Amino acid sequence: MKNNNIFKKTLAAATIVAGLSAIQVAEAANWLMLQGTERPGAAPRAKVWGFIQPEYQSTDGTKVAAGAFNGNDAIFNQIRPDLNGSSDLNVLRARFGIRGVSMPLDSNVNYFFLAETGNNGVTRYANAGTAGMRMTDASVTLNNIKGARIRIGQFKAPMGEEALQAVHVFDYINFTGMTNGLMLERHFAGDGSGTFVKQTPTGATTASNSNDVNAPISGVSAFRDVGIQVFDTFKVANIEHSYAVMKGNGNGLNRGDGDSNKDTYLYYSAEQVYGGKGPKRQGLKGYIWSIDGQRTLTTEGAGTYDRQRSGFGMTYRKGKQRASFEYISAKGMIFTGSDGASVPGTSIGQLPVSGPFGTNPNPDLDGDGNPDNQVRVSWNVATTGEANGFAIHYGYAITPKVELDIRHDVYNRMTNVTNAERIFTTTTLGAQYWLNKKTHLTVNYELRDAEAPAYASTSNTAKVLDSLDNRLSIGLLTIF
């Protein structure tokens, strides 16, 4: 029944896409083909490539304004991925890769490899929080069957445009709230409900559950999965149609399938191509997609839960103008941030422990330097949530080297639980300057707002959300 509902939604969205494709109203690139194939007869055996993206980000550093964590650092005003300051100069991405075809043996077989060495969510949370190099892509595409190319390995799964597009041609520095919250998946062992207190049982000589804040057990997904995809592109009546069907582990980067449950990905797009080629091809594209999978928790809230995502959108690029619209809906497992909007691991006090040598008001039985029985902030995930969001983007190239951008996005989280619902609204003002064809500077200023519809403006919940600062981001990206 669940798969039938998703299929019905996909068919309904297909009608919308067909309508969009008939109108002459961002980059209308075909990411399935650009990332999964090579040009016939023109691709080298091995092309080394990559990009580097240093950045600076800053907020006012406003603290949590109310509640149990009043006065602590607010997580949404700290700079990712380290979350230990309100301004930071960072090498966000540093990726290198190689791609090509296996000629002269067989030009119908191509490959794609990419690794990440920057300081971001891919590398920072990997291997229990240590940074390092991580493989993001390693795939082989078989082009032997007309109309049904087969891609196998680890690569970007077919989904919405913001997630699927190549990040080095992204018009902004930060993702929208809906893409960051719903599509940039974090993997957890528990839901966070049992990690609010670092427990030490009465009479114990060592602490249990030491420093457990339900930290992610791997890096973020980076919109990728390990699996097999059947896809292709074909033209009908001057419209380019593309499709993809994929089965994946649904378990993040460089990891096997932890629960034997596979994700099913469906994608379809229709595009009227105006001209050009590559990532900045001009055209009007409409698309729909869906993801149906499950996730298994093994600690707090143990069990297997649905994770469903679906969406549709359009992109437009012609002459000096670029525009896009995207909508995403979600059901099942949804990332909900941290306790009280504070930084995970933060403590606000502790409970005395009764042990064999009497009551110790400041125990550290495991000798890790952190007092036991602390009230500590954890990461949290809802297992049966619902959410949705949308984003609208418009850009105008005032000169060949300068582009001005504006984006408005709304993320509505936990719409099925009145007291847990949060609405995040961001308007991003942006400018891009190209020093040359492969190097550009991006400046963004985000006007950010958050609200809890069920709470009065005088409540602690509303005061905490009012702590959300605007954010300045400056990034330089060069491709080699």
- Residue 361 has what pLDDT? 53
Q: What's 473's domain CATH number?
A: 2.40.160.10
Contact residues for 17 (Cβ-Cβ < 8 A; gap 6+): 268, 269, 270, 286, 287, 288, 312, 314
- Residue pair 364/347 in contact (Cβ under 8 Å)? The answer is no
The tokens describing 147, both together, are 């109309």
Helices (H), 195-347: none
Q: What is the total count of domains within the chain?
A: 1
- Amino acid letter, residue 79: I
**Across the chain, how many H-helices and E-strands are there?**
7, 20
Beta bridge partners of 155: 225
The mean pLDDT value of the chain amounts to 87
pLDDT at 352 over 60: no
Bridge partners of 359, per DSSP, are 354
- The larger pLDDT score, comparing residue 41 to residue 130, is at 41
Q: Which value, to the nearest 10 degrees, does the dihedral of the CA atoms of residues 271, 277, 278, 279 take?
A: -60
Q: Give the containing element (helix H, strand E) for 20.
A: helix 2-21
Closest by alpha carbon to 280, among 316, 314, 310? 316
Mean per-residue pLDDT, 174-180: 98
What number is the average pLDDT over the span 430-446? 97
Strands (E) in 59-148, as ranges, are 87-102, 106-116, 134-142
State which residues form the domain around 323: 2-479
Q: Is residue 203's pLDDT more than 80? A: no
Instruction: Give the model's confidence band at 75: pLDDT under 50 very low, under 70 low, under 90 confident, else very high.
Output: very high
280-296 residue pLDDT tens: 899 999 999 999 999 99
- Report which of 93, 113, 15 is spatially closest to residue 51, judged by C-alpha positions: 93
pLDDT, tens digit (0-9, with 9 covering 90-100), for 214-233: 888 888 999 999 999 999 99
CA 460/CA 463 separation, integer angstroms:
5
Q: What is the pLDDT of residue 20?
A: 37
For residue range 26-60, list pLDDT tens digits in order: 346 899 999 999 988 778 889 999 999 999 999 99
Mean pLDDT of 12-23: 39
